[in-house]
Structure 1
Amino acid sequence: MDYASKTCAPCQPGTPPMDAAAVDAALGTLGGWEAREARTRIYRQYRFKDFAEAMRFVNALAEVAEAEGHHPDFAVHWNTVDVTLWTHKAGGLTENDFIVAAKLDRLPAAAAARR
């Protein structure tokens, strides 16, 4: 499935999280992401040449998150950005998490090209 071509749908309280099999299948469409916390979160670390490039990625990440209405947790280090996604209202992972992950995966190459 091409998650990057999809758009996040608003979640309502009570939205069920994906089960483990669905999480594993969705992870198979992404590269570099791993399931964490009993498959209730997905995580990826992005590496850059320096802090400025990492911050360009964070700014692009913020634009994606706002456009999708789905906001990851992230931590910025000198040349890395750690990203964790999950759907709070569902208490686990939903399709929205994989949509945002797929869209973020398109950003590092774009950020690096702006050097």
Structure 2
Amino acid sequence: MTTQQQLALERCRPLQGSEHRLDLAQRSALLTGLPGWQLVGETVLQKEFAFASYAATLLFVNTVAGLAERENHHPDLAVAYGRVKVSYSTHDVGGLSRNDFVCAAKIEALTQI
């Protein structure tokens, strides 16, 4: 099982405090299993997705919104015609947590269906 598949099977947990913030080695290791995702500084995990139509773009946004509600972990979404930029960060830990990578892996799983 790949890192992405393992992450996608996990559930987000309530996290608070800097002890849950991932260090560079942890972030880098988890990032290798998420093609196209990138670290923006030390606090954001991000990927831009492209779509053939506005309807497909909105379907993706609504699907990600449903996932965010189920996991209680919400990304920032920048929506444009045919594009969505998804950005994760765990504000309660002051950076990136495992939850960010779990949700990114779940989004990747959705795009492979």
TM-score (norm: length of structure 2): 0.91
Q: Distance in 2 between matches of 1:24 and 1:3?
A: 14
Identity of aligned residues (%): 38
Q: Distance in 2 between matches of 1:5 and 1:109?
A: 15
Cα distance, 1:81 vs structure 2: 0.3
SS in 1 for 2:105: helix
Q: Is the 8 A contact 1:57 1:107 kept in 2?
A: no
List alignment gaps of at least 5 residues for structure 2.
Answer: none
Q: Distance in 2 between matches of 1:64 and 1:98?
A: 13
Cα distance, 1:109 vs structure 2: 4.2
Equivalent residue number for residue 28 of structure 1: 32
Residue 45 (structure 1) aligned to one of 44, 48, 56: 48
Describe the shift of the 1:99–1:87 C-alpha distance in structure 2 as closer, same or farther (beyond 3 A).
Answer: same
Q: Residue deviations 1:15-41, cap 9 Å, x none?
A: 43100111000101111100002x211
Q: Distance in 1 between matches of 2:51 and 2:74?
A: 21
Equivalent residue number for residue 73 of structure 1: 76
1:102 partnered with 2:105: yes
SS in 2 for 1:23: helix
Residue 9 (structure 1) aligned to one of 5, 10, 13: 13
Q: Distance in 2 between matches of 1:97 and 1:83?
A: 11
| CA RMSD, Structure 1 to Structure 2 (Å) | 1.2
Instruction: Tell me the amino acid that sits aligned with residue 52 of structure 1.
Output: A
Q: Distance in 2 between matches of 1:13 and 1:24?
A: 21
Q: Residue deviations 1:1-57, cap 9 Å, x none?
A: 3100100001124443100111000101111100002x2111100000011100000
Equivalent residue number for residue 90 of structure 1: 93
